[in-house]
Structure 1
Amino acid sequence: MHGARHAPRAHTRLGRSGGTGGRGAAVRVTTRTPRPAGPGRARVAQNGGSVGRAAPAIERAGPVESAERGDGAPTSAPPDRRPVAAGRFRHAAAVVTSDAELLAVALPFLQAGVRAGDLVAMTCPPDVVELVCAELGEAGPGVEADTALSLLGARAPDVLSSARRFVQRAEEAPSGRLRVLSVVDFGDRPAGWREGLRYESASNRLLQDDAVTSVCVYDRRRLVPEVVASAGSTHPELVQGHALVPSPAFRDPLDYIPALPWPRDPVEDTPPALVVGAAASLAGLRHAIGAVLAERVPDRDQREDLHLATSEVAANAFRHGRPPVSARLWTDGSQMVCAITDAGRQFGDPLAGFRPAHGDDLSRGGMGLWLARKLWDSVDLLPGADGLTVRLSTRLR
C-alpha cells in the first residue's frame, strides 16, 4: 500500500467454480496492482547470511513474543529480551528460482494446513495466486487469499491488524492455528527493501505469542540479491527438503533492526524544500511543514495524511526529546523525505510504532510513530551525534 487510502485489496476464498484456465481451484481476484518488482540499480548492504534453495516442506508449528513498548519516551521500559524461539509463532523462509520450486513449497504447505484444520491463507501477487490455485485441487476451497496479510497490500501496522483478525478467526478453526503462505515483494526501491526487512524481522516478536505458521517465499526472479540474502537473518527457520530447520543466520530483531544500513535517499542530496534549524514552537513547526505540503503534495488525502503523521512525530520530539528540534524536507515531485531531529539520545526500542504504544486504548496517546508507519511508506529511527532523527519517506500520488 502506498497511501493510507488505497485500492480494494484481495480477500477471496479459492473455489472450484469459475475459470482461470487452470486445472484446479479458480480465484476471484479483486486486488490492487502490486508494487513493481525488479533488481533496480541501488543496492542495500547485506545484513546476514544467505539461504539455500527450497524444496517441498512443512509441518511444524510453534513459538515467539510481543515486545512492544512506548512511543519514544526516554523513560520507556526496555524491550522484552526473552528468546525469540519461546512462543507459538513459526516463521520460515523458502528461496525459489522457478514456478516448479514455488509449487513444491506452496502445495504441500497449504494442503497440510487444510488437512490439519488450520485457517489457511495466501498473501501473494495475483499471478502466484492463479498459479497455485490451479494446482490445489480439492484443497482449494479451504484456502483464502488476502494481500492485506503482507506488505503487498498494506503498511506494517495494518498488516498486523489484519493478522490479528485472522488469528482471532483461527481460534474457531479445528486446529486453532492460522497458516499463511506469503510471496515476498518489497517493491523496487531501497527504502522499501529496508522497510520490508524491518517488518519481517519485527514480526518474530510482534506475533510471538500467536498460533501462526508462516512460510515466506523469496523468489530470486522477483527480488534483488540483498533481499534474498536477508531471509536467513529475519526468519528463525528455513525450508529444507521436507522439513523446517533452524536458520543459523537468524538474528534477534532487537539486534538486527538497529544494525540495518541507513543509506540516504537520493532526494536528500537535492536542495531541501524546507529547513527549520531550531523550531521555536510545535505549532510553528507544524505550520511550516503544512505550508510546504500544501504546495508540493497535489493529492489532498495524501497531503492531510502526511501532515497528520509529521505533526505527531514533531509533537514526540517536543514532548519526549530535547531541544533544539529541527526539520528538513526534500521532494522531487515523485518522492518526499522529511527528517525531524531532536537532541535526545535515550531512545532504544526498534519495535516502536508497529502498534500503538498503549494497545487498543488510543485515548492514552502514544500513536505518533504508529501513525507515521501507517501513513508514510518508510519510517527510519536514526540515532546520531545530533540526537535522534525520525526520517519519513513516501512516494507522492
Structure 2
Amino acid sequence: MDPLAGGSATQAEPGRPARAHASAFSHTAAAVHTTDELVAVAAAAVEEGLRRGDLPVLALTPEVAEAVRRTIGASAGQVQDDQRICLRGVRAPDALVVTRRLLERARAGGSGRLRIVAEPQWGTDPLRWREVRRYESVSNALMARAPVTALCLYDRERLPAQLVAAARQTHPELLMGGIRVTSSDYHRPELYLRELARVREPVEEGRPAFAVDGVPTLPALRGALRQVLAQRVPDEDQRADLHLAVSEVAANAFRHGRPPVSARVWADDTRVVCAVTDSGRSFDDPLAGFLPAHGDDLAAGGMGLWLARKLWDSVDLVPGPAGLTVRLATALVRPPAG
C-alpha cells in the first residue's frame, strides 16, 4: 500500500480539494517514484510560483536543481537556491533564520510570497531522520501565518517506508494527481514532537558516565559538567559549544524550575547525551527554543533552549513524574589527525 495514499480531501469538505492559501503557510508533501518525476513535479511547482509572482527557492541537490532549471528554461534565472532550508550543514534554528531572510526578500516584490521546493536531506542515520521529522513538523507551527508555499518531495523508491509515511504525519496536505488534498494522518506539531521526545537514545541504555542528584548550586553543576565533557568530548571547539549550551539549560533549571536539580551524562565513542532534570511541572512547550524567546532582541535573554538547539543535534523536553527533563544529544566530532 502506498504510504501516502491516506490523503483525503474529505476531512474539511467531502469531495473537495484542500483549501486555497492566501497568506497562510502551505506545507505539502509529494511522493515520487523516480528522479524524472521528482524533477517534473518540482519544475511544475516553480513555474506555478513564477506565474503568481512568488520568489521560488530550490532546496535540492545540485544535480536535481540543475535538471529543474533546464526544464523551466528561460525563467531559471529568477530561481534561487539554498539547501540550508533542508538542514544541509545547519540545525533547525539556523535553517529558520535562512527561511526568514528569504521571506523578507520575497515580501519586497512580486506577490510577496516565498515558494520553496525542497527534498529533505535524510542521510542514513535514523537519529538524523528523527531531527528531519521534527523540523518538518515544527515548521507548521512556527510559520503558520507566513506567506510561504513549501513543497517537500519524497522519493518512495529510495527512502524507507517509515520516512515516506512520516510525510503524511508532518504535512497538512499531500499532492496527489496534481491536486492538493488534506492529509488524514496529519499530527499537530505539539503532539508529534512529544511523541518524538519519548524515544531514548541507544547510548542511554548503558550506565551513565556521570550522575548527580540534588545539586546544591548552579556553579557546582556547571563545573561538574565541564569536567565530564572534558573527558568524553575530544574536539576542543565542540566541547566548548556543548558546555555553553548545557550550562544555559542548567541555569534554566535553577532559575525557572524547582529543586532538586539532577543531571545525567551518557557517552560512547560516537555520541554524547546529557539530561538535566528539575522538579517543576509548570513548563511543557515542545516548540520552545527553535526561535529566540524575545525575537531579535538577544539582549533580553531567553536564549537557553535556542542555544541548545543551535549547538546540539537534538533537544527534547520530556515531562515526567519527577519534573521536566531537558535531554540534549549530539554526534561527536573527531579532531583532525595529527
The TM-score, its normalising length taken from structure 1, stands at: 0.76
1:363 aligns with 2:267: no
1:62 aligns with 2:21: yes
Cα RMSD (Å) of the superposition? 2.2
Runs (5+) with no aligned partner, structure 1: 1-48, 64-86
Structure 1 SS opposite 2:273:
strand
1:52 aligns with 2:11: no
Aligned to 2:12: none
Aligned to 1:203: 139
Distance in 1, matches of 2:73 and 2:160, equals 32
1:93 aligns with 2:52: no
Distance in 1, matches of 2:273 and 2:62, equals 31
Distance in 2, matches of 1:143 and 1:59, equals 27
- Of 261, 281, 295 in structure 2, the residue corresponding to residue 345 of structure 1 is 281
Distance in 1, matches of 2:204 and 2:67, equals 41
Aligned to 2:318: 382
Structure 1 SS opposite 2:226:
helix
- The amino acid of 2:202's aligned partner reads P
Distance in 1, matches of 2:196 and 2:233, equals 30
1:293 aligns with 2:293: no
Structure 2 SS opposite 1:260:
helix
1:334 aligns with 2:270: yes
Structure 1 residues 134, 311: closer, same or farther in 2, change over 3 A? same
Which of structures 1 and 2 has the larger relative contact order (alpha carbons within 8 angstroms, sep 6+)? 1
What per-residue deviation string (whole Å, max 9, x for no partner) do you get for residues 78-118 of structure 1?
A: xxxxxxxxx51111001112112212311101122223221
Structure 2 SS opposite 1:230:
helix
Distance in 2, matches of 1:209 and 1:359, equals 16
Contact 1:61 1:213 (8 Å CA) reproduced: no
Structure 1 residues 186, 341: closer, same or farther in 2, change over 3 A? farther
Aligned to 1:150: 86
- The amino acid of 2:32's aligned partner reads V
Aligned to 2:153: 217
What per-residue deviation string (whole Å, max 9, x for no partner) do you get for residues 287-322 of structure 1?
A: 111112222222222111111100001111111111
Structure 1 residues 262, 130: closer, same or farther in 2, change over 3 A? farther
Query: Percent same amino acid at aligned positions?
Result: 52
- Of 37, 60, 63 in structure 2, the residue corresponding to residue 127 of structure 1 is 63
Distance in 1, matches of 2:182 and 2:314, equals 30
Q: Quick check: 185-194 or 160-169, which moved more?
A: 185-194
Aligned to 2:14: none
Aligned residues: 323
Aligned to 2:217: 281
Distance in 1, matches of 2:64 and 2:157, equals 13
Matches within 5 A, 1:15-30: none
- Of 160, 183, 186 in structure 2, the residue corresponding to residue 247 of structure 1 is 183
Contact 1:52 1:95 (8 Å CA) reproduced: no
Contact 2:197 2:317 (8 Å CA) reproduced: no
Aligned to 1:36: none
Distance in 2, matches of 1:263 and 1:250, equals 20
Per the TM alignment, residue 222 of structure 1 is displaced from its structure 2 partner at its CA by: 4.2
Distance in 1, matches of 2:199 and 2:173, equals 28
Distance in 1, matches of 2:93 and 2:18, equals 28
Aligned to 1:235: 171
Aligned to 2:329: 393
Distance in 1, matches of 2:165 and 2:133, equals 11
